[in-house]
Amino acid sequence: MAAVRQRARGNPGWRGAVALIAALIAALVAAMPSIAADAWPTKPIHLIVPFAPGGGTDITARLVAQPLSEKLGQPVVIEHRPGAGTMLGTELAARAPADGYTLLLAAAPHAINPALYKQVKYDAHRDFTPITMAITFPYVIAAHPGVPVQSIRDVISYGKTNPGKLTFGSSGIGSTNHLAGELFNRMAGVELTHVPYKGGGPALSDALGGHLALLFGTVLETLPQVRNGKLRGLAVSGGTRAAVAPELPTVAESGVPGYDVTGWYAFLAPAGTPRAIVTRLNDEITRILAAPAVRERLLSLGAEPSPTTPEKAQEFISTELLRWDRLIKAARISAD
């Protein structure tokens, strides 16, 4: 190339030829991601789920993976990689090549863990490219029938006159329903006492047994107990009423304006994944989530299909990262 440049200095024709060659090389380099994306996929795609099989992420992954396999013409293999509060599977996805063959089904802990743990071996913002939000779902705030509260306003009134006496259970320290309770404390000006459990099931059992006053539980686990009269439903945590339980008001309309906490799942890819691949995945997953059978199945579980553009997904996750960071630091919550 040096010889070409030397020859070009003394020959105007050569200078033009060199410029043309350089332009062609630059265009080829710039086009390489698009060329790779046009050929994609040529082999199986791995969808990492950082939870054990059997839960909501498993159900959502399976509802999407099968039709996505058919649309792309390649298997979408679900890999359950639970451990370390979802950080094990998330780190694996963060370190994977950005070629469209490794995806992550992230959930709310993705935005909580960076503030909750001192050692997080990836950057939840910079190491991932969002594809789309998948679903959102509220929590049900319920009370044992023996507790003298009929509404969220009653909880606030009783809580202010009896600080610390009302307990609420969650699925563990730093879980979304734990933080939902802590946010309620701060926004409502009360002092509910948190009781963490190793999962939603044990918390629900103690709420049913009268060992907890209140429960911030998932719709799937809690709503049946409300409808059979074993628990008293007070509200849902989301910003709007839940389609599966329209009779329950939101916390916001029950005396705590602006309160809005939802669980969520989102499809992510390693940072640097070609835009053409992200766009193709967004298009296909959005169509799948809008399919009547998929939508009805998710609604029956208390989840709302919530596909978005990649930009809206990034905006949502960034907002979640910021607000949980602020709350965890202010409440001095730590899982370490």
Q: How many domains does the chain have?
A: 2
pLDDT band at residue 16 using 50, 70 and 90 as cut-offs = low
Span 264-305, pLDDT tens digits: 999 999 999 999 999 999 999 999 999 999 999 999 888 999
The answer to whether residue 76 sits within a structural domain is yes
Strand residues in the chain grouped as ranges (E): 45-49, 76-80, 102-107, 128-143, 167-170, 193-196, 214-218, 232-236, 262-270, 304-305
d(CA 247, CA 229): 15
Q: Residue 167 is part of a domain; what is its CATH number?
A: 3.40.190.10
> Same structural domain for residues 211 and 117?
no
- Domain boundary among the residues 254, 287, 322 is at 254
Stretch 301-317: mean pLDDT: 96
- One-letter identity of residue 168: F
Most distant CA pair in the chain, distance: 96
Span 141-196, pLDDT tens digits: 999 999 999 999 999 999 999 999 999 999 999 999 999 999 999 999 999 999 99
Q: Which two tokens stand for residue 70?
A: 């058919």
pTM: 0.85
> Same structural domain for residues 219 and 159?
yes
